């Protein structure tokens, strides 16, 4: 047990994106210091850390500096090499640990973990050659499948839709990955996520499940409370807590779910860190997902996960800048009731790149949804279907 670390202690964050930035904001608000190892020379979102290490993750000097400064460590990005995590944990407590991150960062290990522990997920086959892919394609159901790289996928990258008639040789040649998971394609009735926090002693708390709507495989909006059957939501919460226990997890864990057209609740994937679908917790919950991560790292009690207002979180992708000549109308967005704007200080707006988000809270969910719809109109984001 690594115990209590008082304000003034330094937490080490691996990764340089917006999740680390928002964790840093929570940490600094509470008087903690942050060292961010970002692994590259672009310090945009990580700019609020007390110190930044730019050396690549395979650099020994970078590791030495990180270990020298950090009293406890965490990841804001799951694709940190597992071997590096294992070296860090020899010197500094790491939460979540290398084993948990190692499962969540690798689709094959993740799927096998779910299957072995009895958590429901989409049917899948592991493939590592064109011949295996050809055989696996022949076994796909009518609805087809999605081929996903085992590692380094995000926002739908490293994924391709396939069916029984697909040309395995061509697909495999274009797929630059040594291993992949072929998954049945689910007819989606809805997508959900559940955030769970589990502390150093194994106490847990769960947030209200979130309804997620994706566009082009990227999260578009998150809606809380989710507009779904309460029995399904309760089951999702139970499964997410069960996964956190099965991983002997420390920190904040996000579990993504599919609800299929035929009513099945399936685990899609896990993220061993704060999650895009949990950003509403900053403005709509008693304790944000970022503060929870800090609390677990520093041996503080878990905070209340209570939702104090219905909320709709709208992601702001680079498209918003590109389509508004670099100058979105923030005054108009912020004139909408209950709007909380979060921008990540990324230097360059590219289509599909997450640049910020705006959360709408209101007394009722329909009001929050209506204000969100108006923000889409102002920013030129296509309306929700
Ligand atoms: N098996 C599937 N059936 C239907 N839709 C899927 C399936 N797998 C992924 N998707 C869609 O693609 C999105 C992104 O896929 P996901 O596996 O979560 O990868 P990542 O979030 O790492 O890019 C999902 O949220 C879902 O909308
Ligand atoms: Mg996902």
pLDDT at site 151: 87
> In a 10 Å sphere around its CB, with 0-12 CB exposed, 13-18 middle and 19+ buried, how is residue 123 labelled?
middle
pLDDT at site 372: 98
Give the residue, out of 162, 268, 269, with the most ligand 1 atoms within 8 A of its beta carbon, to mutate for a pocket test: 268
Mean pLDDT of 315-341: 98
- Asked if residue 384 is part of any domain, the answer here is no
Residues with a CB atom less than 6 Å from ligand 1: 122, 146, 153-156, 183, 185-186, 188, 191, 214, 217, 256, 268-269
Examine the pLDDT at 2 and tell me if it is beyond 70.
Answer: no
Q: Where are the beta strands (DSSP E) in the chain?
A: 10-14, 33-37, 51-53, 72-75, 124-127, 145-149, 159-162, 180-184, 188-198, 204-206, 210-215, 218-224, 251-260, 265-271, 311-317, 339-343, 354-361
Last residue of one domain, picked from the residues 166, 184, 202: 184
Cα–Cα distance, 111 to 106 (Å, whole number)? 9
CA-187 nearest atom, ligand 1:
4
pLDDT > 90: percent of the chain: 94
Examine the pLDDT at 263 and tell me if it is beyond 80.
Answer: yes
Nearest CA to ligand 1 atom 25: 217
Write out the residue range of the structural domain in which residue 276 sits: 188-379
CA-186 nearest atom, ligand 1:
3
Whether 150 and 271 map to the same domain: the answer is no
pLDDT at site 152: 81
Whether 237 and 175 map to the same domain: the answer is no
As for how many domains the chain has, the answer is 3
Tens-digit pLDDT profile for residues 171-225: 999 887 889 999 999 999 999 999 999 999 999 999 999 999 999 999 999 999 9
Nearest CA to ligand 1 atom 1: 185
Last residue of one domain, picked from the residues 184, 206, 231: 184
Whether 242 and 175 map to the same domain: the answer is no
- Asked if residue 348 is part of any domain, the answer here is yes
Tens-digit pLDDT profile for residues 132-160: 999 999 999 999 999 999 888 777 788 99
pLDDT at site 1: 45
Average pLDDT value for the chain: 96
Whether 280 and 293 map to the same domain: the answer is yes
Examine the pLDDT at 328 and tell me if it is beyond 90.
Answer: yes
């Amino acid at each position: 047990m690594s115990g209590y670390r008082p304000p003034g202690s330094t937490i080490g964050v691996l990764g340089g994106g917006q999740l680390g930035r928002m964790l840093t904001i929570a940490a600094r608000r509470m008087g903690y210091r942050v060292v961010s190892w970002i692994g590259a020379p672009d310090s945009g979102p990580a700019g609020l850390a007390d110190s930044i290490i730019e050396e690549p993750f395979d650099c020994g000097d970078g590791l030495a500096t990180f270990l020298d400064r950090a009293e406890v460590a965490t990841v804001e990005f799951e694709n940190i090499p597992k071997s590096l995590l294992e070296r860090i944990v020899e010197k500094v407590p790491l939460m979540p640990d290398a084993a948990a991150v190692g499962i969540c960062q690798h689709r094959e290990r993740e799927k096998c973990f779910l299957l072995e522990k009895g958590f429901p997920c989409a049917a899948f086959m592991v493939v590592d050659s064109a011949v295996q892919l050809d055989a696996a394609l022949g076994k796909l159901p009518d609805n087809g499948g999605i081929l996903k790289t085992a590692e380094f996928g995000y926002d739908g990258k490293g994924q391709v839709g396939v069916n029984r008639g697909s040309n395995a040789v061509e697909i495999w040649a274009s797929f630059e990955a040594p291993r992949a998971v072929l998954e049945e394609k689910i007819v989606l009735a809805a997508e959900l996520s559940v955030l769970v926090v589990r502390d150093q002693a194994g106490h847990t708390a769960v947030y209200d499940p979130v309804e997620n709507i994706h566009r082009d495989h990227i999260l578009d909006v998150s809606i809380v409370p989710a507009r779904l059957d309460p029995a399904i939501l309760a089951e999702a919460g139970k499964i997410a807590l069960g996964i956190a226990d099965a991983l002997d997890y420390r920190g904040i864990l996000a579990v993504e779910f599919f609800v299929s057209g035929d009513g099945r609740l399936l685990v899609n994937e896990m993220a061993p860190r704060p999650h895009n679908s949990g950003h509403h917790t900053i403005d709509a919950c008693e304790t944000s997902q970022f503060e929870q991560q800090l609390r677990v790292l520093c041996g503080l009690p878990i905070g209340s996960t209570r939702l104090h207002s219905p909320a709709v979180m709208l992601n702001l992708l680079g498209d918003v800048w590109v389509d508004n000549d670099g100058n979105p109308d923030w005054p108009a967005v912020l004139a909408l009731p209950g709007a909380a704007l979060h921008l990540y200080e990324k230097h360059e707006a590219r289509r599909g790149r997450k640049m910020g988000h705006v959360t709408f809270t209101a007394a009722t969910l329909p009001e929050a949804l209506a204000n969100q719809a108006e923000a889409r109109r102002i920013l030129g984001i296509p309306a929700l279907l």
